[in-house]
Amino acid sequence: MSISKNHPVPIYYQLEQEIRHRIEMGEWKPGDLLPSERELAERYQISRMTVRQALANLVNDGLLYRERGRGTFVARPKIHKRLSSLTSFTEDMRARGKLAGAEVLQLKLEPASPAVARDLAVPAGQPIVLVERLRLADREPVGIERSHLSFAGCEAIMREDLTGSLYRLLKEKYGIIPTHAEERIEAGLCPAREAQWLGIHRSAPVLLITRVTYSQEGLPFEYVESVYRADRYTLHVSLTTAPGIS
């Protein structure tokens, strides 16, 4: 591929496409160091400013990352989480060909705070289960999920092995089928404690997702607060035009 200066497509965009192509073809692999700005400018006979713009766009898109003093590298592909279907972490990972894992950070019975009690439709102060887990994709920490669980006999879950799929356990052993969820997604900066577990800088960008999950009976059984590494996650939504809008 070459870059044409007489083309209506801007030169920085042509360079972006060229780099994307090399990454897609596997010519440049995750972790590879890209040629320097100067080398790229010379190779394609374009200005360093143009190279800088193309690289900055690819860094913003998460395809490349920079390390101060070392250069620009090819990033690992992110985990795509579809927002249109109710899935578990394990299912999301399986769909990506990754091995899901969990490390239990906290497991206890605690009185429901007024906010959690409202979402779980229980009286404030009622003992509910708190399970906080570090979630792993191919053994790499990608998120932390703090689930507040409330259903008849939920204390029994304290004796379970929670390093596998929680949703599968709930389905198979407790007859609770996650059927519907309401989710809220915000951008945030990683708190210090979570940053340590996730192995990222304090205040690195994260996705903060809260979810209330309902069973097949329409009862809320889980209120979860999650922190996912923004450098490892992309949220994916399919959109269709609403009827009546042209």
Which residues are near ligand 16G by CB under 6 A? 88-90, 100, 145, 147, 165-168, 209, 211, 213, 222, 224, 226
> Could you tell me the CA-to-CA distances from 76 to 1, 3, 4, 15, 37 in Å, in that order?
23, 26, 29, 20, 21
Least CB distance to ligand 16G at residue 229 (A): 13
For 164, residues 6+ apart whose C-beta sits below 8 A from its C-beta are 90, 102
Give 72 or 165: the residue with its C-beta nearer to ligand 16G: 165
* Encoded amino acid at 190, one letter: C
Place of tokens 């209330």: 212
CA angle 191, 65, 96 (to 5 degrees): 80
Least CB distance to ligand 16G at residue 27 (A): 34
Contact 211, 147 (CB under 8 A): no
Contact 236, 222 (CB under 8 A): no
* Encoded amino acid at 231, one letter: D
Give 195 or 209: the residue with its C-beta nearer to ligand 16G: 209
Rounded distance between C-alpha atoms, residue 135 and residue 99, angstroms: 11
Least CB distance to ligand 16G at residue 52 (A): 36
Give 122 or 208: the residue with its C-beta nearer to ligand 16G: 208
Least CB distance to ligand 16G at residue 161 (A): 11
Least CB distance to ligand 16G at residue 105 (A): 14
Give 16 or 194: the residue with its C-beta nearer to ligand 16G: 194
Least CB distance to ligand 16G at residue 224 (A): 4
Rounded distance between C-alpha atoms, residue 20 and residue 74, angstroms: 10
